[in-house]
A and B are shown apart, each in its own frame.
Chain A
Amino acid sequence: MSTGHQADAKHHARLHHGVDHGSLKGYLTGFGLSVLLTAIPFWLVMSNALGNQTASAIAIMGFAVVQIVVHMVFFLHMNTRSESGWIMMALIFTLILVVITLTGSLWVMYHLNTNMMPGHDMGQMP
């Protein structure tokens, strides 16, 4: 076995190897970051600090994405090595499907709504 595994085994003495349970420091770091990344978007919306709806929306979406990554790394202990990379593969595949589902639905339905508005002149359609 590799030295890495021995060090790992010493660390998690009672555990089977290959499963990461994280560390106290990791959990606390993740928790601290999450509190921050939750508090800032709530504050942005409640105080309307940016004074601009679009800017606020983009900012809180950015915070959400960062916080999801924080949760994945510190709470779900994800990395490219776990399960020989299959966990990451499954995640990437799912993310592609999620992006197709969300952008596809929103894009199609938005245009459908626009084209179905009353008063829309069908004669102008090509």
Chain B
Amino acid sequence: MALAHDVTDDTIFHLEDDHGHAESGSSTMLGFWMYLMSDCLIFAMLFAVYGVLGGNYAAGPAPKDLFDLPLVALNTSMLLLSSITYGFAMLEMAKGRVGPMQAWLVITGLFGLAFIGIELYEFAHLIHEGATPQRSGFLSSFFALVGTHGLHVTFGLVWLVVLMVQVSKHGLIAANQRRLMCLSMFWHFLDVIWIGVFTFVYLMGMLR
């Protein structure tokens, strides 16, 4: 693979749009994008379930009684900040600077942890008030949708820590760069899903 990189183009014949796939791992990017799209369909199902069941309160609490918009705004800003700091980490990676990149990854992880912490606090608060998943169709679908997103962020955090260990052990080798780019797509994708969550679940819920 490294060899193909060094050989000049004059000696190699290849199709116009077939260049560099093997060494850049960019076909991995396409494959990972396919995975993200399948994940997107899972979330579409959960959004559809919430759309269908979200109005069934079973004489229980409604969104207006439960949701705390300032808290959700804080949560949203945590996720947005973690997205931009991950972007900064990728820029440092492009320059090959391991130290600053790891520092930005730590900051990203802390923002992600803050997001999960706030979400768990919110869930604990809801359950304490008796708004458990089994209370009504609205709450079942709410916990399923928001909880699935939270689980994704949690696994993203685990992945982030694993990659930081990998980078500290092996440096910015091609495989690690590819892994970091996959996690970058995953992380930004979760932020995109969260836009749907705060719009359809929280903001629309308060309007209902």
Say whether, besides A76-B189, A102-B44, A71 and B95 are in contact (CB < 8 Å). Answer: no
Contacts of A1 in B (CB 8 A): 9, 19
Say whether, besides A14-B96, A91-B37, A75 and B87 are in contact (CB < 8 Å). Answer: yes
B37 (CB) vs chain A CBs: closest residue: A94
Main secondary structure of the interface of A (DSSP, over half): helix
Q: Are A14 and B94 in contact (CB under 8 A)?
A: yes
A90 to B192, CA, bound (A): 16
Interface size on B, residues (CB 8 A): 58
Interface string of B69-98 (1 = CB under 8 A from A): 100110011001001100110110111100
Q: Does A116 contact B (CB under 8 A)?
A: no
Say whether, besides A23-B91, A105-B52, A71 and B37 are in contact (CB < 8 Å). Answer: no
Main secondary structure of the interface of B (DSSP, over half): helix
Q: Are A83 and B94 in contact (CB under 8 A)?
A: no
Say whether, besides A34-B80, A72-B192, A101-B44, A27 and B91 are in contact (CB < 8 Å). Answer: yes
Q: Are B207 and A86 in contact (CB under 8 A)?
A: no
B8 (CB) vs chain A CBs: closest residue: A1
Q: Are A42 and B73 in contact (CB under 8 A)?
A: yes
Q: Does B119 contact A (CB under 8 A)?
A: no
Interface string of B186-203 (1 = CB under 8 A from A): 001101100110111001
Say whether, besides A22-B87, A71-B191, A75-B87, A41 and B48 are in contact (CB < 8 Å). Answer: no
Which size bracket describes the interface of A in this complex? Answer: 35 or more
Contacts of B30 in A (CB 8 A): 83, 86-87, 90
Q: Does B142 contact A (CB under 8 A)?
A: no
A68 to B194, CA, bound (A): 10
A1 to B106, CA, bound (A): 38
Interface residues of A (CB under 8 A from B): 1, 12, 14-19, 21-24, 27-28, 30-31, 34-35, 38, 41-42, 45-46, 53, 56-57, 60-61, 63-64, 67-68, 71-72, 75-76, 83-84, 86-87, 90-91, 93-94, 97-98, 101-102, 105-106, 109
> What are 26 A-B pairs with beta-carbon distances under 8 A?
A14-B94, A14-B95, A15-B177, A16-B23, A16-B174, A18-B19, A21-B90, A21-B94, A22-B90, A24-B91, A27-B84, A31-B87, A38-B77, A42-B203, A60-B203, A60-B204, A67-B195, A75-B87, A75-B188, A83-B30, A83-B33, A90-B34, A94-B40, A94-B41, A105-B48, A105-B49
